[in-house]
Structure 1
Amino acid sequence: MINGRLPAVVVTLTCAVSGLGLVGCEESSKAGSDASAERTTAAGNKAADEDLLTGTRKITVDGRSVNVSCSGSAADGRPAVVLVAGGGDGLEKMAGIQETLSKKNRVCSYDRLGEGASDQPDGPQTLESTGKVLTAVIDRAAGDGPVVLAGHSLGGLIAARYAPDHQDKVKGLVLMDATSPTQSADLNKGIPQSATGPAVELREQTLAILHGGKPERLMVPDGKVRSAGDIPVEVIQHGQQYLAQVPDYGPGLERAWTEGQRKWLAVSGSSKLSTAKNSGHYIYVDQPDVAVRAIERVTSQAADRG
């Protein structure tokens, strides 16, 4: 666990470089745990009640309770937006951007298992199992309609891994400083076994989380980026180079992070990369206007494509 012996920059970096919440990172509050519960039946399938979810409710996926929040309404043919938070964060962290987007769009967010007001996972999770939870959320968010996924950090990785296998539903992506598709290799190369100092603890703690540590117990293997077709995709990277502050290894970590953002462009033939110049890792907090405009552009492009 991270403790007071580590420099503050290392605590920040441990959250940012992997997008995973550890002790000392901003974690979702459990305040939403008293929200009224609404139960669905089959995992990943539509609920018997065909009405789309509104407000904050609980749905059940494979016997586990998942906290979901939906607001706003979509014009005919316009995809619903599903926000996918980074590790250690949940729907409360994304409440501000959800409120802004819901003025013109139908928007939903959720707490993955192990986060916020959702249940703890009953064992190790995989991208497939966390994708099953996302499918259930999408069904309640959009019914038979399309969606745009907007993911931050680990949530961006999850969204980009999910989209190629669900091209019937996912019609656009916005990836906000998404965790690199080769994050483990990036860390092992950027902070080698011969390294000393606080960077070593950073590497070991981050790799432990990527390999099934708490809170989500999610296994996040490295892998090539698969194509989701020609859907509109915007990849937004941070502009404030805070990773460069890590002693000895910071500049290399920044270069690897930037390269990781470029790798995500392969998810679509219609991808574009931009930089939020005044933002750290939390782009939707530091420069919410940049995030909102990107999500609305992708949603409009997806709607125009039908």
Structure 2
Amino acid sequence: MSRQKFATTAGIALCCAVVGVGLVGCDADTDGDSSAPAPAPEEGTGEDLLTGTQTITVGDHTVKVSCSGEPADGRPLVVLLHGGGDDLTTMAPFQETLSADGRVCSYDRLGAGGSDQPGGPQDYDSVGETLTGVLDQVAGEEPVVLVGHSMGGLIAGRYAPDHQDRVAGLVLLDSTSPTAVADVSDRIPESDTGPAGELRAQTLAIFAGENPELLVFTDGDVASAGDIPVRVIQHGQQYLGEVPEYGEGLEEDWTAGQNKWLALSEDSELSTAENSGHYIHVDEPDVAVAAIDEVTTRAAG
């Protein structure tokens, strides 16, 4: 593999899998229609039910939100959190599938898609404030099930322990590790002057806030969200292993990070989507749908 080809391949792997945020020249190919429009508004859902794609006001910002499907008795609202560098359109086909069984909403975080830019650097608390503002308007006082992909899973996992009155369950789809900064900085030495060293520097810059959402990643232990149902699904296609010398270790770190998320709940399980890359909801949507069905059923019970 040439130096240029390696840098491109490894960059795609780490920016999309470790962070989910686009580096220069890193446009993830999800094998799906990431530009597909969000589900269209539905009729007969009531005046107070936000449906279709709309712009709402959260604090001092406008946020693009999409909701579809009809409320189902006993089934909590499902809220999708996209990965970094993506927006709600990336999950639109998956949202449409889920909408057949109940109500589903998604939104663009500040700095993504059709939402406003953040006013400055963000941390987990500030992105959580936006999430709370969205939940206030799409769910009211009813608890929800959060489904987060990549960076969206990281945000969901950090949000749930401090908002146990709002979150009834979690599904984490190949979520960014709670120790992502250390995983990369410890695995690839600073002294590496090759493509891997460049990759390390780029990735750590993204973690430091050089990403569209200006989110500054900080490592930490995983706090408990009680006994809510939590299902963690990791990729099965070992594409991080393509990084010469460090690939096997990066895959080990990734799996270790998925296991750390199990500390979120006494009712947590880890599984592997064997035929999937990073975009599990695109590569193996049936696996993701089954996990969401299980979590919503348990949350409703």
Superposition TM-score, scaled by structure 1 size: 0.89
Q: For the Cα contact (< 8 Å) 2:230–2:267, is it kept in 1? A: yes
Asked whether the 8 Å contact 2:62–2:116 carries over to 1, the reply is yes
Structure-2 change in CA distance of 1:29 and 1:293 (3 Å): closer
Q: Which amino acid in the other structure matches residue 9 of structure 2? A: V
- Give 1:4 shift: 6.1
The residue number in structure 2 matching 1:197 is: 194
Secondary structure of 2:56's counterpart equals strand
Q: Deviations over 1:163-216 (max 9, x none)?
A: 011111100000011100000000011101122311112111111111111211
Structure 1 runs not aligned, ≥5 long? 37-49
- Whether 1:9 aligns to 2:9 is yes
The TM-score normalised by the length of structure 2 is: 0.90
For 1:30 and 1:207, locate their aligned partners in 2 and report how far apart those are by CA, in whole Å. 28
Q: Which residue of 1 aligns with 2:85?
A: 88
Give the drift of 1:105: 1.3
Question: Counterpart amino acid of 2:271?
Answer: S
Matched, 1:180 2:177: yes
The structure-2 alpha-carbon separation of the partners of 1:197 and 1:165, relative to structure 1 and needing over 3 Å to count, comes to: same
Contact 1:32 1:116 in 2 (8 A): no
Residues 133 and 32 of structure 1: is their aligned pair in 2 closer, same or farther, counting only changes over 3 Å? farther
- Counterpart of 1:293 (choices 274, 290, 293) is 290
Give the superposition deviation at 1:260: 0.2
C-alpha distance in 2 between matches for 1:105 and 1:139: 19
Q: Is the 8 A contact 1:52 1:142 kept in 2?
A: no
Aligned to 1:20: 21
Q: Are 2:59 and 1:65 equivalent residues in the alignment?
A: no
Equivalent position of 1:145 in the other structure? 142
Count of paired positions: 289
1:105 corresponds, among 97, 102, 117, to 102
Question: Could you list the per-position Cα deviations for residues 128-187 of structure 1 after superposition, in whole angstroms to 9, with x for gaps in the alignment?
Answer: 111111111212221121100000010000001000111111000000111000000000
Is residue 236–residue 276 contact of structure 2 (8 Å, CA) maintained in 1?
A: yes
2:44 aligns with none
2: CA distance, partners of 1:32 / 1:103: 17
Report what 1:210 is aligned to: 207
Structure 2 Cα separation of the partners of residues 195 and 15 of structure 1:
22
CA drift at 1:84: 0.4
Task: Give CA deviations for 1:66-121 in whole Å, capped at 9, x if unaligned.
Answer: 10000012223321000001100111000011000000111001111111111111
Q: Percent identity?
A: 63
Q: 2:6, 2:243 within 8 Å by CA — same for their partners in 1?
A: no
- Deviation of 1:5 (Å): 6.8
* Structure 2 residue ranges without an equivalent (≥5): 42-46
Instruction: Please state whether the residue corresponding to 2:89 is helix, strand or coil.
Output: coil
RMSD: 2.3
Matches within 5 A, 1:114-263: 114-263=111-260
1:47 counterpart residue number: none
Shift of 1:30: 8.7
Q: Which amino acid aligns with 1:86?
A: G
Distance 1:292 1:30, change over 3 A: closer
